[in-house]
A and B are shown apart, each in its own frame.
Chain A
Amino acid sequence: MGNEAIARGAYEANCKIISSYPGTPSTEIVESISMYEGIYAEWAPNEKVALEVAAGASIAGVRSLTTMKHVGLNVAADPFFNMTYEGVNAGMVIITADDPGIHSSQNEQDNRIYASHAKMPLLEPTNSQECKDMMVEAYEISERFNTPVMFRTTTRVSHSKSIVSFDEDAEAEGEYKEYRKNKLNRLLLPTISRKRHLEIEDNLLDIQTYSNQSSLNAIEYHSPDIGIVANGISYQYAKEVFGDTVSYLKLGMSYPFPDKKAKEFASRVKRIIVVEEGEPFIENALKTLGVDCIGKDIIPLCGELNPEIIRKAITREEISTYEPVSVPARPPRLCAGCAYLGLYSAVKSQRDVISAGDIGCYTLGGTEPIKALDTVLCMGASISMATGMQRTQDFKPMGKKVFAFIGDSTFFHSGMTGLLNAVYNKTPIVVCILDNRSTSMTGNQENPGTGKTLQGDMSNFIRIEDIVLALGIKPDNLIIVDPTNVSETRQSIELAKASTEPFVIISRHPCELIKPQTEIDSKAKYYITEDCVSCMKCTRLGCSAIKIVDKKVVIDRQECRGCSICPQVCPYNCIKEA
């Protein structure tokens, strides 16, 4: 996998310190690197913290890495931009794993633009082998030019697998950098930053010379008719479609842009087509140089590319196919037996509630058939947005209470400050913290609330209720409830609605995916009795074990987890223990 190859590359480059927050499709880099001996790898509560930890390690003299998904860089944007000014001591690499096609994200931003905006060199591998090799080169560039390096992958590079050759016995080697106290150019005060900006611009010209000479940017000359300029996975797609019938300029380092190499390429081919996913990043660079090219006129700007799109766009050829058969989609749903089902079941019957959601499994509580959430914006936004929504009612009363739904890991990530704001400004929102003791959506990573580190070692167990109280929530305004107990959950929602002060419900039940199999097996499973009148109330819970087969509601024995939520919502008492 591309992500495993990146981890190998970081290891071989003698990178010693890694700090990250999980995010698809970047997560496996850290999980993989934590298996290497002699490396310190940690989960940080969010991307800003992670990037700053890596920055500290670099300044102190040890090669460091931070990895995140594309939207994670938005969270870390502040230190990201400033690190170019701060410079590095030992090499530092920042990985952003973009998600064209939005496989599991909120948006489709193209983070290459971040690199040029922050004036940071940008590397992009096209397969797993390059993931490994280019990581080593990234650290060389970082130290040689006193700058952090941005390493950008996309889902299809991170998550696809191709053969990687490497020496299994190779050991990480290299020297650490000496730390020199109070070098003033590390203090980003205006006088220093103004001077650094001039240096950075000079430095960029040097890096551009490197970019022109480096084999990261390579011309493959086959024919003078068509010249394709491509980066990342787009290069592999183009190569698949055209093989050696066209010429290529393959860009592994598109910022600073290799202007001389691009002009040389342009002089040798009649027509240039830019094949890139997302924004016209390379196309604009070429046009700025006065190189005539075709790009987004024919290659889509939205979505993920593939060989078929490229073939159609350039040659107008289509391969004949079988007629597609229309089959129903299987959208992702909350797991069978997920405790969130109990909480959402209790919430969605409330007509006077507005529900602000957040990023995690529980986002699925906004989809069919649960539909308990009204908004989902970004990590931590549920609480802050709820505050804004509640405040609008000072001006136009709607008679609604605004609830925020946030997971444990997301609360640590960026929910705490939102809650602090609500308490400080006395906005009477209700915050439901869905504490399932895990960072489930990305694959059950540890977080400060699980009491374990990335390596699974025991650590400080941070109690969410302690944080909530410390942020200023009054003890009377805090309820801890097990959401599989639906009636108690309903009562706590009623209490919370009546409160005139900020209120917190901690809805606590461990994630189904982290329970041991013996615990699941020991639970009694449920079935639907003959008396069922098909009122369909249980199907609206959203449990994937409850199905309609031959127009009758049934509980799939294999999938039932024995959570006991469905018998509590059946109005006719037709769901019994098997």
Chain B
Amino acid sequence: MSESISIILAGIGGKGVITVTNVLSHGLVTLGYDVKVSEVHGMSQRGGSVHAQVRFGTSIHSPLIEKGTADYIVGFDQVEALRWGSFLKLEGRMLVNMAELKDDTYKGIYESSFSQYLNTTFIQASTIARETGNIRNENFVMLGALLQSLGFEFDVWRPTMEKYIKKQFQEGSILSLLGGMREQLAAEEKETVYGL
């Protein structure tokens, strides 16, 4: 792992971006990293974009990520992933929720917009969340994909999930997270095969 990892989590208000950010940052602190988080959510309840920036490593100074330096962009929504595209490192990775769009505010063509990024994984987060019992857990599917891509084992995250998720939602959230990890693992294996 390089000295520090920078992650942008981008979505829309009410979709669980902030919840995932809390779990992620608390977990990273538990694992002994220096962590800085910057959130913009003042207008979230009024339908605005919501994003959080998480940086971790041995020693972190800036809570803000520089353009062209993010290792990951986790898009809880396609439009929001594209909004932050120029923050991604050239060799950085996009993880994008492919949930169908209710809003046709974006006039471009998604496929061609995403094709410029070297490493993109599309995740059917709504399908996976539905299979694991709760359509509202798309956010944890995305977190699972991220943790897998970062090379973490689930076991080190179990205590964090148990500490920061309310009891009644724990099981569903963990199942969704595991579903996301599996999906990402499968995607990476496929890439390896095609890459050869």
Chain A residues within CB distance 8 Å of chain B: 24-25, 103-104, 127, 156, 159-163, 233, 236-237, 239-240, 306-308, 311, 319-336, 361, 364, 513, 544, 547-550, 556
> Which among B25, B67, B68, B85 has the greatest number of chain A C-beta atoms within 10 A?
B67
Are A330's CB and B49's CB within 8 A?
yes
The residues of B that contact A544 with a CB separation of less than 8 Å are: 46-47
Are A332's CB and B43's CB within 8 A?
yes
Which stretch of B58-66, B150-158, B167-175, B178-186 is in the interface?
B58-66
Are B82's CB and A104's CB within 8 A?
no
The residues of B that contact A161 with a CB separation of less than 8 Å are: 25, 35-39, 63
The complex places the Cα of A162 from the Cα of B105 at a distance, in Å, of 36
**Minimum Cβ distance to chain B for residue A462 (Å):** 26
Are A236's CB and B61's CB within 8 A?
yes
5 contacts between A and B (CB under 8 A): A236-B62, A240-B66, A311-B66, A322-B85, A330-B49
* Seed contacts A233-B63, A240-B66, A308-B66; 19 additional CB < 8 Å A-B pairs: A156-B63, A156-B64, A159-B38, A160-B39, A161-B39, A162-B63, A237-B61, A306-B62, A311-B66, A319-B66, A319-B69, A321-B67, A321-B86, A327-B82, A332-B47, A333-B47, A334-B46, A364-B46, A550-B104
**Minimum Cβ distance to chain A for residue B127 (Å):** 18
The complex places the Cα of A322 from the Cα of B93 at a distance, in Å, of 12
The residues of A that contact B195 with a CB separation of less than 8 Å are: none
> Which among A320, A327, A329, A549 has the greatest number of chain B C-beta atoms within 10 A?
A327
The contact string, 1 if C-beta is below 8 Å from chain A, for chain B 54-78, is: 0000001111101111000000000
Q: Of B34, B61, B82, B90, which one neighbours A320 at CB under 8 angstroms? A: B90
Are B66's CB and A549's CB within 8 A?
no
Are B103's CB and A549's CB within 8 A?
yes
Within 8 Å of chain A (Cβ to Cβ): is B40? Answer: yes
The complex places the Cα of A170 from the Cα of B39 at a distance, in Å, of 29
Are A547's CB and B102's CB within 8 A?
yes
**Minimum Cβ distance to chain B for residue A177 (Å):** 38
The residues of B that contact A239 with a CB separation of less than 8 Å are: 61-62
Within 8 Å of chain A (Cβ to Cβ): is B140? Answer: no
The residues of B that contact A240 with a CB separation of less than 8 Å are: 61-62, 66
The residues of A that contact B35 with a CB separation of less than 8 Å are: 161-163
Measured CB to CB, the nearest residue on chain A to B46 is A332
Are A332's CB and B106's CB within 8 A?
no
Are A306's CB and B66's CB within 8 A?
yes
Q: Of A103, A311, A319, A321, which one neighbours B42 at CB under 8 angstroms? A: A103
Within 8 Å of chain A (Cβ to Cβ): is B19? Answer: no
**Minimum Cβ distance to chain B for residue A15 (Å):** 26
The residues of B that contact A320 with a CB separation of less than 8 Å are: 68, 90
Are A160's CB and B38's CB within 8 A?
yes
The complex places the Cα of A240 from the Cα of B66 at a distance, in Å, of 10
Are B90's CB and A322's CB within 8 A?
yes
Measured CB to CB, the nearest residue on chain B to A324 is B86
The residues of B that contact A331 with a CB separation of less than 8 Å are: 48
Measured CB to CB, the nearest residue on chain A to B105 is A328
Within 8 Å of chain A (Cβ to Cβ): is B147? Answer: no
Given known pairs A162-B36, A547-B103, the reply for A332 and B82 (CB within 8 Å) is no
The complex places the Cα of A127 from the Cα of B116 at a distance, in Å, of 36
Are B67's CB and A160's CB within 8 A?
no
Q: Which of B119-138 contact A (CB under 8 A)?
A: none
The complex places the Cα of A156 from the Cα of B65 at a distance, in Å, of 12
Within 8 Å of chain A (Cβ to Cβ): is B31? Answer: no
Are A325's CB and B68's CB within 8 A?
no
The residues of A that contact B43 with a CB separation of less than 8 Å are: 104, 332
Q: Is the interface of A mostly helix, strand, loop or mixed?
A: loop
Measured CB to CB, the nearest residue on chain A to B50 is A330
**Minimum Cβ distance to chain B for residue A38 (Å):** 27
The residues of B that contact A311 with a CB separation of less than 8 Å are: 66
The residues of B that contact A306 with a CB separation of less than 8 Å are: 62, 64, 66
Measured CB to CB, the nearest residue on chain A to B22 is A161
Are A159's CB and B86's CB within 8 A?
no
Are B29's CB and A163's CB within 8 A?
yes
Q: Of B29, B40, B83, B106, which one neighbours A103 at CB under 8 angstroms? A: B40
The residues of B that contact A104 with a CB separation of less than 8 Å are: 42-43
Given known pairs A240-B61, A322-B117, A549-B102, the reply for A330 and B12 (CB within 8 Å) is yes
Are A549's CB and B104's CB within 8 A?
yes
Given known pairs A24-B42, A159-B39, A322-B88, the reply for A332 and B48 (CB within 8 Å) is yes
What are the 8 A-B residue pairs with the smallest beta carbon separation, nearest first? A332-B43, A321-B68, A240-B62, A160-B63, A319-B68, A161-B37, A240-B61, A324-B86
The residues of A that contact B42 with a CB separation of less than 8 Å are: 24-25, 103-104
The residues of A that contact B83 with a CB separation of less than 8 Å are: 325, 327
The residues of B that contact A334 with a CB separation of less than 8 Å are: 46
Measured CB to CB, the nearest residue on chain A to B38 is A160
The complex places the Cα of A322 from the Cα of B79 at a distance, in Å, of 16
Given known pairs A160-B37, A307-B62, A549-B102, the reply for A323 and B86 (CB within 8 Å) is yes
Within 8 Å of chain A (Cβ to Cβ): is B192? Answer: no
**Minimum Cβ distance to chain A for residue B120 (Å):** 11
The residues of B that contact A160 with a CB separation of less than 8 Å are: 36-39, 63
**Minimum Cβ distance to chain B for residue A505 (Å):** 24
Are A333's CB and B88's CB within 8 A?
no
The complex places the Cα of A307 from the Cα of B32 at a distance, in Å, of 25
Given known pairs A320-B68, A330-B49, A549-B102, the reply for A162 and B12 (CB within 8 Å) is no
The residues of A that contact B36 with a CB separation of less than 8 Å are: 127, 160-162
Are A324's CB and B68's CB within 8 A?
no
> Which among A233, A308, A361 has the greatest number of chain B C-beta atoms within 10 A?
A308
Are B67's CB and A327's CB within 8 A?
no
Are B63's CB and A335's CB within 8 A?
no
The complex places the Cα of A320 from the Cα of B91 at a distance, in Å, of 11
The complex places the Cα of A497 from the Cα of B193 at a distance, in Å, of 74
**Minimum Cβ distance to chain A for residue B104 (Å):** 6
Are A328's CB and B39's CB within 8 A?
no
The residues of B that contact A329 with a CB separation of less than 8 Å are: 49
The residues of A that contact B108 with a CB separation of less than 8 Å are: 325-327
Are A307's CB and B116's CB within 8 A?
no
Are A513's CB and B62's CB within 8 A?
no
